[in-house]
Structure 1
Amino acid sequence: MDTNLLYWKSHGQSFLSRLQVWVNLLDPLSLLSSDADILKAHSSLGSGETLNEKDGAALSLSLSSVHADSGAVVPLVFRPAALLPMSTPLVVASFLPHSSVRLALFWQFLLQSYCAGFNYANRNSSSEQSPTASLMQLLLMAGTVSYTTCAGALPQIFISRLGVRSAPVQTFFRSILPIPLSAALAFFNVVTVRSAESETGIRVFDSRGNPVGLSKAAGDKAVRETAWSRAVLFGATAALPNLLVLLLQRTRRFQRNSLLAAPLRHVSVALVLGLMIPVCFSLFPQLGTIRKEDVEERLRAAADGERLYYHRGL
């Protein structure tokens, strides 16, 4: 078992402990480290018995930048610390009340493409034979981006094609519909991009960290947990700013200064996204567990306890 997973096994089994770790790991300064420094930090860490907080900067750098399955450095723009600075302008722009369908499609394409790349780069790759994406995986990602781009632009498509002029109906399409839509598309993006984990299985470990085989049940559980966490992230980011603006628009100050709505929405989207990222990452353990009874029969005999462990991915 990789040293990153050994750390999560001993420090990441409660929500608050995971949240505390993620708040530290999302420091954007870690993005300035070179690949050589990251690999050196990862290789300098001790075994599961000696791994602790005293490893300091090397531990944080390893957890935030090294893939726990392959041991390779995660591409810079897809590291956890890069999610906020990379996705904030895309999320803000995708929630704008666009004047045309073309603009809505453009920003949705950029957002969904980045989300697909992030989901793929942080997947569980323990069952893969090649570090490079196959043609089938590339086609699957292209199809996912195409579908979610079109679906994400549906509110603007409805407004433009139906010629909606009613203020309440426009409010529904611009402020209410994007909430469940954003959550559903985030969930779908993870499930489709990482569907191979459910189909081929992922590596599971016993309580001592020894691999015991590949489990489709564990793969399906890992994908579903990550998909739900991403749905919470984008659903909350769509809901809270829109509801805040809708409530404030009822006040006299906002009615006298309607131009305040746009900057308030942009700032609140960035703020909620930044606050929700560590919460979303902490909802489920990085080193997940699955009951022995829930995995394939061939793996049960190899389990030395009631539970098996798996890398959830991110």
Structure 2
Amino acid sequence: MDPNLLQWRHRDQSFLSRVKTWFDLLDPSLLLSSKAEILKAHDVVGGGEKLNEKGEAAVTLSLSSFHPDSGAALPLIFRPPAFFPVSGPLVVASFLPHSGVKTALFWQFLLQSYNAGFSHVNRNTSAEKVKATSLKHLLLIASAVSYTTVAGALPQIFINRLRVRSPPLQMFCRSILPIPLSAALAFLSVFTVRNEETETGIQVFDSDGNLVGVSRAAGEKAVWDTALSRAALFGTTAAVPNLLILLLQRTRFFQRNSLLVAPCRHISAAFVLCLMIPVSFSLFSQVGTIKRESAGQELLAGAPGEELYYHRGL
């Protein structure tokens, strides 16, 4: 196992401990660290020495900057600390009540492109060390961005093309429909972008961190869990602000001050997204487990213990 992956295994004891870890790792100030600083932090993690307070800071920097499979530094905008600063404005803009289809498509394209790129960069790459990204995989990513962009703009397309003027129907298209749509598109995006893991499998390890082999079942479980966590992230981010605004619009204060509705929508969307990112990342452990008999018949003979371990990806 890579030193970063070993660190994840030691830290992923409970949901609350994972949330605490992710709150530390998502600190945007970590993006300001120089290349020399993150390389030094990675060396500290790989040194196997007992860590003091300064060493814990190095572990945090290393986990937020390096891929647990390849050990390579992650591109700056696709590191976990960059997820909220980049996706936050895109999410708020994509949830706006746009006046035209082109504007809705533009913001959906930016959001879905970033989400697909983040899923691709932070996927499990353990079975891809000897080959580059295939043309089929690139086409899958492009298709994921394309259909999620168009589907994400469907509420605005319905309003414009069907000339929806009824307030209840407009409310349904702008406030209700985006909730299941956002969750479904986030799930499908991850599942499509990381489809190769379900076909080729991912590496699994025994309890001592020794490589056992490659398992397709582990790959399917890793992709499924990550897709569910992303659906929870964007589904909740769409649900809470929209439902909150529907409730506030029934109050006399907001009926008299309708200009406050838009700022409340934007602020609540950003606030919910900010809280849900560490929560959704923590729903499943970064080092997942799978029963030995479920990992594949070819692994049964050489796999000691009842459970095998794998990197889930993000």
Tell me, yes or no, whether TM beats 0.5.
yes
Instruction: Quickly say closer, same or farther: Cα 1:54–1:302, change in 2 above 3 A.
Output: farther
CA distance in 1, matches of 2:244, 2:225: 28
Letter in 2 for 1:237: T
CA distance in 1, matches of 2:258, 2:136: 49
| 1:189 counterpart residue number | 189
**Please, which moves more after superposition, 52-61 or 218-227?**
52-61
Cα displacement string for residues 34-65 of structure 1 (whole angstroms, at most 9, x for unaligned residues): 23321221122246684676622210011111
| 1:138 counterpart residue number | 138
Preserved CA contact (<8 Å) 1:12 1:285:
yes
Instruction: Quickly say closer, same or farther: Cα 1:215–1:56, change in 2 above 3 A.
Output: same
CA distance in 2, matches of 1:52, 1:13: 20
1:125 deviation in Å? 0.3
Cα displacement string for residues 129-163 of structure 1 (whole angstroms, at most 9, x for unaligned residues): 35743322221111110010000000000000110
Runs (5+) with no aligned partner, structure 2: none
Instruction: Quickly say closer, same or farther: Cα 1:131–1:19, change in 2 above 3 A.
Output: farther
| 2:94 counterpart residue number | 94
| 1:11 counterpart residue number | 11
- Compute the RMSD of aligned alpha carbons: 1.4
CA distance in 2, matches of 1:224, 1:171: 32
Query: Is residue 276 of structure 2 the alignment partner of residue 276 of structure 1?
Result: yes
**Please, which moves more after superposition, 65-74 or 52-61?**
52-61
CA distance in 2, matches of 1:111, 1:150: 12
CA distance in 1, matches of 2:291, 2:128: 24
Preserved CA contact (<8 Å) 1:288 1:310:
yes
Preserved CA contact (<8 Å) 2:4 2:45:
no
Instruction: Quickly say closer, same or farther: Cα 1:264–1:80, change in 2 above 3 A.
Output: same
| 1:66 counterpart residue number | 66
**Please, which moves more after superposition, 48-57 or 125-134?**
48-57
Letter in 2 for 1:166: S
SS in 1 for 2:168: helix
TM-score after normalising by structure 2: 0.97
| 2:224 counterpart residue number | 224
Instruction: Quickly say closer, same or farther: Cα 1:131–1:48, change in 2 above 3 A.
Output: farther
| 2:205 counterpart residue number | 205
Instruction: Quickly say closer, same or farther: Cα 1:48–1:197, change in 2 above 3 A.
Output: farther
SS in 1 for 2:289: strand
Query: Is residue 258 of structure 2 the alignment partner of residue 258 of structure 1?
Result: yes
SS in 2 for 1:285: coil
1:224 deviation in Å? 0.3
TM-score after normalising by structure 1: 0.97
Cα displacement string for residues 10-39 of structure 1 (whole angstroms, at most 9, x for unaligned residues): 221210111111111111111011233212
Aligned length: 314
- Over the matched positions of the two proteins, sequence identity in percent amounts to 68
Preserved CA contact (<8 Å) 1:222 1:312:
yes
CA distance in 2, matches of 1:53, 1:100: 53
1:304 deviation in Å? 1.4
Preserved CA contact (<8 Å) 2:5 2:69:
no
CA distance in 2, matches of 1:121, 1:163: 40
Equivalent residues in 2 for 1:1-314, closer than 5 Å: 1-46=1-46, 50=50, 55-130=55-130, 132-314=132-314
CA distance in 2, matches of 1:7, 1:165: 55
Instruction: Quickly say closer, same or farther: Cα 1:268–1:107, change in 2 above 3 A.
Output: same
Runs (5+) with no aligned partner, structure 1: none
SS in 2 for 1:45: helix
SS in 2 for 1:289: strand
CA distance in 2, matches of 1:94, 1:221: 30
Instruction: Quickly say closer, same or farther: Cα 1:181–1:52, change in 2 above 3 A.
Output: farther
Preserved CA contact (<8 Å) 1:108 1:153:
yes
CA distance in 2, matches of 1:11, 1:129: 26
CA distance in 2, matches of 1:117, 1:133: 13
